[in-house]
Chain A
Amino acid sequence: MTARVFVPRDSGALSMGAETVAAAIRDEARRRGAALDVVRTGSRGMYWLEPLVEVEAGGRRTAYGPVAAADVAGLFDAGFLAGGEHALGHGPVEAIPYFANQERVTFARVGVIDPHSLDDYLDTGGFKGLENALGLSGPEIVETVTESGLRGRGGAAFPTGIKWKTAIDAPSDVKYVVANADEGDSGTFSDRMVMEGDPFMLIEGMIIAGLAIDAREGYIYLRSEYPHAHETLRRAIATAYDYAYLGDDILGSRRAFHLEVRLGAGAYICGEETALLESLEGKRGMIRPRPPLPAVSGLWGRPTILNNVITLASVPLIFQKGADFYRDYGMGRSRGTLPFQVSGNIRRGGLVEKAFGLTLGELLYDFGGGSRTGRPIRAVQVGGPLGAYIPESLFDTPLDYEAFSGIRAMLGHGGAVAFDDTVDMARMARFAMEFCAEESCGKCTPCRIGSTRGVEVIDRIRADAHRGENLRLLGDLTDLMLYGSLCGLGGLIPYPVVSALKHFPEDFGAEDVKELNLPF
């Protein structure tokens, strides 16, 4: 029998040489006359083990990693094609604690199947949700999404069902569905993993969204930094057209949905939904004032469902297994699972899909294994560049939307970036302001001017020039930006800055932060 060897083509795995490893395995097989198929997959999300090669033998898949091209001959010698023992062996992936302790709900297929194979997708429950949704009316679809408790995974955690209901109620003969695949937050890569590892799931979610509001066109707005995701999506969309999942007559239902990928062009602000819409329309990514909401007047002035990739990718399962199935995961008002992404100075960086409710500390230590440098973890930024820095004393906070609001932080897109005790938090605060200045769309003064002033003020604090005065100025400035900015860039950048100052005042040479008039 021909052995099957799975080698990821996820761009993280490629960044560690997966392509060379795949080639080395093929070459070695040829040399030894061994019959094997190399199947390219997404990543299981255990990046410290990449390239993680799996071999199907005896009805199970055995994992080896991290594999370098130089290890390949040795793996053949050890009989890895039959699941043989080797120093790099881990047994089945499902037995690796990091993986075994997750709830792979949305990411069940990622790293398992060939993302280009429609058969693989169908064999693992793919498009079952769509079939079920085709039997429902628009309002019934929206009702199901509402019942699932799904909230937006892009950052703001807005209830998805309510957003869709607004779009259904907005009268228009033309509506759109847009996937936000801009994934600009540093420390996040879950959208990328879905697009590279299970693209049909996103497509299916978008088709269902289209059915819900009777939108016949959709766009995926993808950041240009993700060329592999682009290629995978394009191939998957072409296949979906070939098999009538997309087009004028979806599976003979007389319902239409067309889908296209559009590339961004290197602007963080275009992840913000109204700037994204401007960009899709071919303009500068300037924020639009709200109201109107995009659900009422979005792309080209039409009602538009705009959701994050993970939000949309969560939809098919809700229709395959029911709203209850999804809602049964989680805690409080945070239902379902979130693919957390742990990175930065961490031993085992990767993707951890869990029901809401595990603590930040569990994510960092039980999964992440502590810092990569072996030093104590001092600060963790959760929720991307606009997220708060969290000190060790708060590591027992459960990863839950409300619990994080409670500590003046946010989960955002689920990224957690760890720093060890060599970090200079005043420098990180400066970086936040610098980032904001560089990425500001320029529409409002608090953000455009405030961020540049912020850099200068922090520079003076760090140089101990009129420190007290400048610390107070920084307090006022963050207050102004928090309340006076038009959108979340200028409006949220105070989070990393103020949290750094509040939790790590010693790095700013600040004695009494209570005196500083900080906004929170």
Chain B
Amino acid sequence: MPASDPDTQLSDVALKLVDATVETLRDRRGALLPILHEIQAEMGCVPEAVIPVVAERLNLTRAEVYGVVTFYADFRTEPLGRKVVHVCQAESCQALGSDALGASAKAHLGVDFEGTTEDGAFTLRKVYCLGNCALSPSVMIGGEVHGRVTPDSIGKLIDAGRTAP
């Protein structure tokens, strides 16, 4: 955990954003998750420097906020790529070759699971089930699910995702 003063690490813009987010959501009970989701959506991650700020504003300890950020797979302290490629690795997709799909995605992007491409376009992650099992194997690219994906088609889908909004 960073010991340094957060306000010196976060830009004014970022600090304003965090403050505004906390302000809008703080009256909801159990506001921490909604706040972190919002920050992750706006900033692409929950930077470590944000943690003490959120903690202070919500009267929580840094350890509590840090604990929550690290517990959940969705929250990351390092920036994700502009789009996340989620390759399902759960059982239904395994039954139809999600292994080969994962390997093909890794080869296409040149990164391992959890890796981000050098140009910052994509982060590759595995996911356990997208609820699209009847159309396994499935991947999700930038929030869009694709069914019956093959090791050949996944590269094309990723490339299409590069240009799509």
Contacts of B64 in A (CB 8 A): 283
A48-B134, A187-B129, A225-B130 are known contacts. Are A344 and B34 too (CB-CB below 8 A)?
no
* A265 pairs with B91, CB closer than 8 A: no
- Whole-angstrom CA separation of A372 from B31 in the bound complex: 45
A189-B133, A344-B133 are known contacts. Are A15 and B30 too (CB-CB below 8 A)?
no
Contacts of A12 in B (CB 8 A): 131-132, 134-135, 145, 147
A15-B138, A279-B33, A385-B90 are known contacts. Are A192 and B131 too (CB-CB below 8 A)?
yes
Considering residues B32, B74, B133, B140, which has the most beta carbons from chain A within 10 angstroms of its beta carbon? Answer: B133
- A47 in the interface (beta carbon within 8 A): yes
A183-B131, A284-B68 are known contacts. Are A14 and B145 too (CB-CB below 8 A)?
yes
CB nearest neighbor in A for B148: A16
* B133 pairs with A265, CB closer than 8 A: no
Select one of A47, A186, A262, A264 contacting B90, CB under 8 A.
A186
Contacts of B94 in A (CB 8 A): 428, 431
A225-B127, A227-B143, A345-B96 are known contacts. Are A385 and B133 too (CB-CB below 8 A)?
no
Contacts of B75 in A (CB 8 A): 265
CB nearest neighbor in A for B99: A427
Measured CB to CB, the closest approach of chain B to A11, in angstroms, equals 5
Contacts of A267 in B (CB 8 A): 71-73
Select one of B29, B90, B138 contacting A300, CB under 8 A.
B29
Contacts of A224 in B (CB 8 A): 37, 74
- A125 in the interface (beta carbon within 8 A): no
* A417 pairs with B91, CB closer than 8 A: yes
Interface size class of B (residues with CB under 8 A): 35 or more
* A350 pairs with B91, CB closer than 8 A: no
Measured CB to CB, the closest approach of chain A to B79, in angstroms, equals 17
- B116 in the interface (beta carbon within 8 A): no
Flag A428-456 by CB within 8 Å of B: 1 or 0 each: 10010001000100000000000000000
* A11 pairs with B133, CB closer than 8 A: no
- Whole-angstrom CA separation of A346 from B92 in the bound complex: 10
* B95 pairs with A417, CB closer than 8 A: yes
CB nearest neighbor in A for B125: A266
Contacts of A385 in B (CB 8 A): 90-91, 128
Interface residues of A in 181-232 (CB under 8 A from B): 183-189, 191-192, 224-227
* A187 pairs with B91, CB closer than 8 A: yes
Interface residues of A in 141-198 (CB under 8 A from B): 183-189, 191-192
Contacts of B92 in A (CB 8 A): 186-187, 343-344, 417
- Can you report 21 residue pairs joining A to B where beta carbons are below 8 Å apart? A11-B132, A15-B132, A15-B135, A187-B90, A187-B91, A224-B37, A225-B127, A225-B129, A225-B140, A260-B28, A263-B37, A266-B127, A283-B64, A284-B67, A300-B29, A342-B134, A343-B92, A344-B136, A417-B92, A419-B95, A439-B128
